[in-house]
């Protein structure tokens, strides 16, 4: 039996809406503390009883409200923080939806006392189940005190839904701690059932972390601070040995707003990857500040999630900031110099590896890039020239163990990428020219990178060790029916390469992650491109792995026409000479051409 459609009475509608914002006592605390922060408070006092079930009070010394403002503050969508839709693009306050007070008042007995600095007395207003009483004058210091009693007294279902006092208390504690972490320049006091849980004065972030999480942890903190055109990242990470058993102590603040973001958590985790014992999680307090127009915080009523307009670069920046921080604190094998080699006069670089899971990591302290070198072959970039310390400027850039990866007879000085440092040049964004001892080496940048990626892909297939970068928001792509079938057929290989795919329906696929080797700027349509290439190779008698490795390498390699920095060129050369076959590309074309000084001399008639 279908009932006719009717509009819900206001009070029911507002109780439903309230449920989105106010789910538990901690939600009241969160919203009220945010209001206090937005109001410019210096000291915020949170008092609760019975884990907030019977009593919650948030008192601040912020701007306060005039009696007329107070009067409308409980209306739904009453806000002083945005006026126009455009303001939504530029949110700098924590609140903006104008829903919190209305929602709280719909489901609890609320009293608010407020006074602005301009007025001599404050106002006291009671609201119960959404019904306002008459405001009365009230003597108080400037600021606002919100008191919330008997939460969900008029929505028994919700009240019954509340968890034990211990659980609700923990939620509130988390909320107050996050606010205190995000705002070390404010003082916070948190009182529960007449006990002071913590009381902290205005200070700095390091002190705040110490006060909240203890002396011991604070000694293991590493600071980071990095500014790019797009964003600023700063905060503290704990050294791996201070890791926690749960993810609960990973704090991420976007424009000072606590958020949960899987992708960024993953970016941090990725940087720590080899440093952590299984089942442990790094403690961190990380702030990301970005132009508010480049993020969307209005995707959920609780404002806990946020969306970046360029989440891939955020991921990359965060990973490298963390890596750099770890590297600066020696959380990687250290490099020590031995004296000059008598025979060559060149300085050697010895790797002095710690006995730790770090063994496989090498980090460029300048860029924070980690050069993953898990044993033989794979990603054997081994490019110590990435370490731009002056003393490392040696013509022998490769490490001894990297040299060992290829047969001795191949390891002549110049072959092993023995370019003279400093002398490197990109010709027409296509060829890399590098001076070697015998003369000149010319490298085709695209095929060189193809060789590197091809071998890396093959390696992944044998080691079954995928490396994936997660997309914050999975991308749904329409593929032809045939391509969907192809994906199904080679999905295990695609997975091993680092694609994280879900078949969604007959012709759509959801991409949740792409291979880590895909460079920023190359992500667009990458799956489709690889599939097309794979298909066009299918008639040639090659097996699926080889085909996929080739197709992937071809489509993700640096293109002809791409400008490379000196460092990228050196990097590429070193990676190339760590491959099994640096001289031919996967399709059989030459990668490197050499021109010796002798040949040049001949051409110039110098002999
Ligand atoms: P929002 O924070 O999204 O604007 P709220 O419902 O939380 O919406 O609050 C409504 C309005 O009430 C705020 O915009 C602000 O003007 C005022 N307000 C609420 N709490 C305080 C406070 N502690 N101090 C000063 N003004 C407040
Ligand atoms: Mg608010």
Does the Cβ of 91 fall within 6 Å of ligand 1? Answer: no
Query: Mean per-residue pLDDT for 227-240?
Result: 89
Query: Mean per-residue pLDDT for 561-586?
Result: 86
Confidence category of residue 280, pLDDT binned at 50, 70, 90: confident
Q: Using a pLDDT cut of 90, give the percent of the chain over it.
A: 40
- CATH class held by domain 334-448+562-603: alpha beta
Pocket test for ligand 1, best of 41, 79, 106 (most atoms within 8 A of CB): 79
What CATH number does domain 207-327 carry, 1.10.1380.10, 1.10.10.10, 3.30.230.10, 1.10.490.130? 3.30.230.10
HSE on the CB side for 71, CA within 13 Å?
7
Q: State the closest ligand 1 atom to the C-alpha of 94, by its place in the atom list counted from 1.
A: 2
Ligand 1 centroid to Cα of residue 57, in Å, is: 15
Comparing 13-27, 144-158, 333-347, 443-457, the range with the smallest average pLDDT is: 333-347
Pocket test for ligand 1, best of 28, 56, 101 (most atoms within 8 A of CB): 101
Angle between helices 526-537 and 544-556 (to 10 degrees): 130
CA-nearest residue for atom 11, ligand 1, is 79
Does the Cβ of 240 fall within 6 Å of ligand 1? Answer: no
Ligand 2 centroid to Cα of residue 179, in Å, is: 14
Query: Mean per-residue pLDDT for 492-508?
Result: 88
CB 483 within 8 A of CB 531: yes
DSSP string, 291-323: -GGGEE-TTSTT----EETTHHHHHHHHHHHHH
**Per-residue pLDDT at 406:** 36
Q: State the closest ligand 1 atom to the C-alpha of 103, by its place in the atom list counted from 1.
A: 6
* pLDDT, tens only, 470-497: 887 888 888 888 888 889 889 999 999 9
pLDDT at 423 over 50: yes
Does the Cβ of 325 fall within 6 Å of ligand 1? Answer: no
CA-nearest residue for atom 21, ligand 1, is 35
pLDDT at 314 over 80: yes
Does the Cβ of 177 fall within 6 Å of ligand 1? Answer: no
**Whole-Å CA distances, 366 to 93, 335, 492:** 35, 14, 37
Tell me which CATH homologous superfamily contains domain 468-515+520-556: MutL, C-terminal domain, regulatory subdomain (3.30.1370.100)
Ligand 1 centroid to Cα of residue 173, in Å, is: 22
Q: Does domain 10-202 have CATH number 3.30.70.2190?
A: no
Starting from the CA of residue 143, give the closest ligand: 1
Confidence category of residue 198, pLDDT binned at 50, 70, 90: very high
CB 595 within 8 A of CB 442: yes
Query: Mean per-residue pLDDT for 258-286?
Result: 84
What residue ranges do the domains of the chain occupy? 10-202, 207-327, 334-448+562-603, 468-515+520-556
Q: How far apart are CA 290 and CA 350, in angstroms?
A: 41
Angle between helices 205-213 and 165-182 (to 10 degrees): 160
What's the mean pLDDT when you consider all of the chain?
A: 79
Does the Cβ of 211 fall within 6 Å of ligand 1? Answer: no
Does the Cβ of 274 fall within 6 Å of ligand 1? Answer: no
Q: What is the dihedral of CA 190, 196, 200, 201, to 10 degrees?
A: 100
Ligand 1 centroid to Cα of residue 111, in Å, is: 14
Q: State the closest ligand 1 atom to the C-alpha of 98, by its place in the atom list counted from 1.
A: 8
pLDDT at 175 over 90: yes
Does the Cβ of 510 fall within 6 Å of ligand 1? Answer: no
Q: Higher pLDDT residue, 551 or 365?
A: 551
Starting from the CA of residue 36, give the closest ligand: 1
């Amino acid at each position: 039996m279908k009932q006719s459609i009717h509009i819900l009475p206001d009070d029911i509608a507002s109780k439903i809406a309230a449920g989105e914002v106010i789910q538990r006592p901690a939600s009241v605390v969160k919203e009220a503390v945010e209001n206090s922060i937005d109001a410019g408070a210096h000291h915020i006092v949170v008092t609760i009883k019975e884990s907030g079930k019977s009593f919650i009070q948030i008192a601040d010394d912020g701007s306060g409200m005039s009696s007329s403002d107070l009067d409308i503050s409980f209306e739904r969508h009453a806000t002083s923080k945005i006026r126009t839709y455009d303001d939504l693009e530029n949110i700098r306050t924590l609140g903006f939806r104008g829903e919190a007070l209305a929602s709280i008042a719909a489901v609890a007995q609320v009293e608010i006392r407020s006074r602005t600095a301009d007025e001599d007395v404050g106002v006291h207003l009671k609201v119960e189940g959404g019904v306002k009483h008459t405001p009365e004058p009230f003597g108080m210091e400037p600021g606002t005190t919100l008191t919330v009693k008997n939460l969900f007294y008029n929505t028994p279902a919700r009240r019954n839904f509340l968890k034990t006092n211990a659980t609700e208390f923990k939620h509130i504690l988390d909320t107050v701690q996050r606010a205190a972490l995000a705002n070390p320049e404010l003082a916070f006091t948190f009182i529960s059932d007449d006990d002071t849980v913590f009381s902290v004065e205005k200070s700095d972030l390091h002190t705040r972390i110490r006060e909240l999480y203890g002396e011991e942890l604070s000694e293991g903190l590493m600071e980071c601070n990095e500014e790019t055109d797009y964003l600023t990242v700063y905060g503290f990470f704990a050294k791996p040995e201070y890791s926690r058993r749960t993810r609960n102590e990973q704090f991420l603040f976007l424009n000072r707003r606590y958020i949960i973001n899987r992708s960024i958590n993953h970016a941090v985790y990725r940087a720590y990857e080899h440093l952590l014992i299984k089942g442990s999680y790094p403690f961190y307090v990380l702030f990301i500040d970005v132009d508010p127009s480049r993020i969307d915080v209005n995707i959920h009523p609780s404002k806990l999630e946020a969306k970046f307009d360029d989440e891939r670069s955020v991921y990359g920046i965060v990973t490298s900031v963390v890596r750099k921080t770890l590297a600066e604190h020696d959380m990687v094998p250290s490099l020590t110099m031995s004296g000059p080699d008598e025979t060559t006069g060149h300085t050697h670089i010895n790797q002095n590896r710690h006995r730790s899971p770090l063994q496989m990591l090498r980090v460029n302290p300048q860029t924070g890039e980690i050069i993953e070198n898990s044993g033989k072959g794979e990603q054997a970039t081994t490019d110590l020239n990435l370490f731009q310390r002056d003393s490392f400027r040696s013509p022998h850039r490769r490490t001894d163990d990297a040299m060992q990866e290829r047969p001795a007879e191949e390891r002549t000085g110049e072959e092993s990428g023995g370019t003279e440092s400093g002398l490197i040049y990109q010709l027409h964004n296509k060829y890399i020219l590098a001076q070697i001892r015998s003369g000149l080496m010319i490298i085709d940048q695209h095929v060189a990178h193809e060789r590197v990626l091809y071998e890396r892909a093959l390696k992944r297939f044998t080691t079954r060790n995928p490396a994936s970068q997660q997309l914050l928001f999975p991308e749904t792509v329409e593929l032809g029916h045939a391509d969907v079938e192809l994906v199904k057929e080679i999905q295990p290989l695609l997975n091993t390469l680092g694609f994280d795919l879900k078949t969604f329906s007959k012709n759509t696929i959801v991409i949740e992650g792409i291979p880590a080797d895909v460079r920023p700027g190359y992500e667009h349509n990458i799956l489709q491109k690889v599939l097309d290439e794979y298909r066009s190779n299918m008639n040639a008698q090659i097996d699926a792995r080889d085909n996929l490795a080739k197709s992937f390498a071809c489509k993700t390699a640096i293109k002809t026409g791409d400008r490379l920095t000196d460092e990228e060129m050196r990097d590429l050369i070193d990676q190339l000479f760590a491959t099994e076959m640096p001289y031919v590309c996967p399709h059989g074309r030459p990668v490197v051409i050499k021109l010796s000084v002798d040949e040049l001399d001949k051409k110039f008639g110098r002999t």
